[in-house]
Structure 1
Amino acid sequence: MAESPAPQLSVVVPVFNEQDNVAPLVNEITAALRGVADFEIVYVDDKSRDATLDVLKRLKAEVPELRVLRHANQSGQSTAVRSGVRAARGAWIATLDGDGQNDPADIPKLLAASAAATPDTKLFAGWRVNRQDSGSKRWASKWANAIRARMLRDDTPDTGCGIKLFEREAFLDLPYFDHMHRYLPALMQRAGWKTVSVPVNHRHRASGVSKYNNLNRALVGISDLRGVAWLIRRSKRTAIEEIS
């Protein structure tokens, strides 16, 4: 049997212990994209300890666009995103957090922004203008964004938003490290590409618990910021001409 043509878009969703959020989010993704774009959904289960994988297996029989990957070892969100992007068949990737706080209805908005942008714009980052998190999380995020912007000068108001649209090839050319998903605008700009922030919806978590707290985010973020700043300082780019 001939392999089906590659889709225009791959929606990559990393998950860890999100059994109650999987089915509602998959249904929302299909509702948002059927008739809008040729797409596939790539879920990457980061070795969940609940029934997340069982739910995904059942959904595969009902949702033809759904593909399911599973890590052999728990490896974190950035690794799960990269695993999904590497397995994806679409030239463009949309990412969503698996907790349901990102709204799949915003993906067509990102696609529209992409269609209107110049070819050298490779990342369209969601910007949560009305965050539905606790006051402490909003406060921590505000300060983290301010420090990041000062150090990296990436002109991005919200790098922590999980909903993004980017070119697969450009992403796979970026340096990989744990937590890199939080620095995609700066890394894309380092590679010579333009990025755009797009206002998007944000929702309360309906089920399950957050996998992060403010302290572990801050401790990891300090080290990562220094590393990304070093990468930017050490970067060199030049045009290439082939001589005939």
Structure 2
Amino acid sequence: MTDVSIVIPMKNEVGNAPDLINALVAECHDVRIEIIAIDDASTDGTDQALRDLQATVPTLRVLQNTKSGGQSAAVHSGVLAAKAAIVCTLDGDGQNPASQVPKLYRPLLADETGLLALVAGQRVDRQDTQSKKLASKLANGLRGWLLNDGTRDTGCGLKGFRRDVFLQMPYFDHMHRYLPALFKRDGWQIELVDVTHRERGSGNSNYSNLNRALVGVYDLIGVAWLIKRRKKAYPKELD
């Protein structure tokens, strides 16, 4: 039986994959985990590095896209494949420390109300370039004003959630950036936790500030539309 599935999207992270996955095994020792790494059509040997790791990490499963589908597609595929009712996600670039993952699953496993469905990380002391931090601050401010999702850092890859609730949501590219708004839309409780952040270990970011800005405006309009068109009534079966 698996308590927690940890889903990691990876694209060209051959230099970060071994340390990150071994750290997850060490840090998440209090629960039975599986690690699902999704290789998003990497060209640097990430797929072989993950296969090699399976020899020493028996809980590691590897999925591979034949063509790149992006982070949200990789996360969605990983959640579909997950065996546990609780799923945690983190970025594959090593900037999300493995030590922070227990902060995500422990509140969900301890919840007795059945209402808590998402625990979202919020980065403190971000180790990014000033231009990246400024672009993120502006985007988060606009998003928070329009969606009223209650979080200052929805772009953080560290998130834990109930698998069944996540899979009920409509899929769209970049949805991973809007999970607090989408969970709140459907009436679920969310919890925000501060998490640490560190510099990328190796490789280069797969996103540019311009790319984030262009897709962000389009996505914001779409998510705002989804919130306004949410289902507003749920029946109870009468005895």
For the criterion TM > 0.5, the same-fold answer is yes
Q: Could you say what secondary structure the match of 2:234 adopts? A: coil
Aligned pair count reads 238
Q: CA deviation at 1:72?
A: 2.1
TM-score, structure 2 as length reference: 0.97
Residue of structure 1 aligned with 2:67, choices 65, 73, 76: 73
Any conservation in 2 of the 1:157–1:197 contact (CA below 8 Å)?
Answer: no
2:90 maps to 1:96: yes
TM-score, structure 1 as length reference: 0.95
Q: Could you say what secondary structure the match of 1:53 adopts? A: helix
Q: CA deviation at 1:33?
A: 1.0
Any conservation in 2 of the 1:132–1:204 contact (CA below 8 Å)?
Answer: yes
Q: Which runs of 5+ in 2 are unaligned?
A: none
Aligned to 1:233: 228
Q: Give distance in 1, aligned partners of 2:64 and 2:180.
A: 27
Aligned to 2:141: 146
Any conservation in 2 of the 1:192–1:237 contact (CA below 8 Å)?
Answer: no
Residue of structure 1 aligned with 2:37, choices 39, 43, 63: 43
Structure 1 stretches of 4+ with a deviation exceeding 4 A read 115-118
Aligned to 1:179: 174
Q: Give distance in 1, aligned partners of 2:5 and 2:110.
A: 20
Q: Give distance in 1, aligned partners of 2:137 and 2:107.
A: 25
Give the partner amino acid of 2:50: L
1:47-58 → structure 2 map (5 Å cutoff): 47-58=41-52
Q: CA deviation at 1:119?
A: 2.3
Any conservation in 2 of the 1:19–1:55 contact (CA below 8 Å)?
Answer: yes
Q: Give distance in 1, aligned partners of 2:220 and 2:16.
A: 31
1:84-233 → structure 2 map (5 Å cutoff): 84-115=78-109, 117=111, 118-233=113-228
Q: Percent identity?
A: 51
Q: CA deviation at 1:115?
A: 4.5
After superposition, give the CA deviation of every residue in 1:132-184 in whole Å (9 maximum; x if it has no partner): 10101111111100000000000111100001100000000011000000000
After superposition, give the CA deviation of every residue in 1:165-222 in whole Å (9 maximum; x if it has no partner): 0000000001100000000000111111111110001010010000001101000000
Q: Which runs of 5+ in 1 are unaligned?
A: none
Superposed CA RMSD in Å reads 1.1
Q: CA deviation at 1:114?
A: 2.7
Give the partner amino acid of 1:131: R
Q: CA deviation at 1:234?
A: 1.1
